[in-house]
Homo-oligomer: A and B are copies of this chain.
Amino acid sequence: MSYVLNGGPRGVAPETRARVLAAIEQLGYRPNGIARSLRMNRTMTLGLVVPDTSNPFFAQLSRAIEEAAFAQDYTLLIGNAAEDDERQTTYVRTFLARQVDGLFLVPAHGPTSCVPELRRSGVPWVTLDRQIPGGGAPAVLADNRNGARAAAEHLLGHGRRSIACISGPEDVVPANERVGGWRDALAEAGVRPSEMSVWHGAFGRRAGYLGGRELLADGRFDAVFVASDEQALGVLRALQELGIRCPEDVAIASFDGIAATAYSTPALTTMAQPFGQLGQTAVARLLDQMDDPEADPHISVLPVTLVARGSCGCPDPPGGDAPAGTVEGAEQ
């Protein structure tokens, strides 16, 4: 039975095979994957814990990982930490109890108390998007600093001189790297650190909206670099309410390259992350670790690409142009 369904590890006489197949058909037999997992000591399941599944950036990232995992015959369990360390730990624990073969973690901001447990479990894991300080696990990251710098330089290239920054939570590493890149560009253009204005808030539209209202109302700035597209969409709405035109009065460049940026008015100029590659790389790294748990944890930093649209002052292309780095998993 086993031999005919799995095609091995030894042969079956054609006549017997037919008999077995017939019996399977007749009894409506379905193999039990749980028993198989128990025996084989692998579940062909991977876990993914993200800070917030309702944030389109994480949704697109999850989708890319799912795609890559599916292609390798793995099923993906997705857990939503809701930006809460306790819930993050709960999910990690649940997944470990379910004997996932490996785990992806996009750490929520704040402490990441599940790390020791994760390490003790011996289950291979990989962090994504955000690195863990004393991690010890492979990480797959976007080139936040250079990307942010390129975005700010692009705004400078449009003749903007007074460029604010709206960023994510202060304890999120990539948010700070992006602020760093923005600072780099401004410093090189001769702006003093004391003249650089940064606003910190949650990722998500609401925070962007609030930051926009607070920072851009008085006309001090002729441009803003926003650390995430979601926030930038909120900023766009804030400008609208304030009667400030984009890009004429305030130009915007942001970061991530989510699909929605192609349909706002104006469409957003953004540094697009290579979602498909991020997913594939993450899966590849995890499989590496599963192959050889002793292999030293590799840090992969993937480049981001500028997608110039209307919000920075470039010509606004027709709605729905595909951001360069977002071909797979973006569709719609």
Which A positions have Cβ atoms within 8 angstroms of B?
28, 30-35, 37-38, 43, 45, 52-56, 59-60, 62-63, 66-67, 75-78, 80, 94, 96-99, 120-121, 204-207, 209, 230, 233-234, 236-238, 240-241, 259-260, 262-265, 267, 318-320, 329-332
Contacts and interface: CB of A to CB of B under 8 A. Distances in A.
Contacts of A43: 34
Q: In the assembly, how many copies of this chain are there? A: 2
Contact of A332 (B77, B204, B241, B264): B204
B209 A237 contact: no
A331 to B, nearest CB: 6
A16 to B, nearest CB: 24
B34 A329 contact: no
Contact of A59 (B53, B120, B206): B53
Given A54-B60, A80-B63, A99-B33, A120 B205 contact: no
A207 to B, nearest CB: 8
Residue among A34, A35, A206, A230 with the highest chain B CB neighbour number at 10 A: A34
Contacts of A238: 319
Given A37-B34, A259-B54, A263-B233, A205 B320 contact: yes
A62 B63 CA distance: 13
Residue among A80, A96, A319, A329 with the highest chain B CB neighbour number at 10 A: A319
A331 B54 contact: yes
Residue among A35, A120, A121, A267 with the highest chain B CB neighbour number at 10 A: A35
A318 B241 contact: yes
A10 to B, nearest CB: 23
Contacts of A206: 320, 331-332
B54 A97 contact: no
Q: 4 closest A-B pairs (Cβ-Cβ)?
A: A204-B332, A237-B319, A33-B97, A240-B265
Nearest to A93: B30
Contacts of A320: 205-206, 209, 234, 237
Residue among A121, A237, A241 with the highest chain B CB neighbour number at 10 A: A237
Contact of A94 (B62, B75, B121, B264): B75
Given A60-B54, A97-B30, A332-B55, A237 B259 contact: no
A121 to B, nearest CB: 7
Contacts of A94: 75
Contacts of A319: 205, 209, 234, 237-238, 241
Contacts of A260: 205, 233, 260
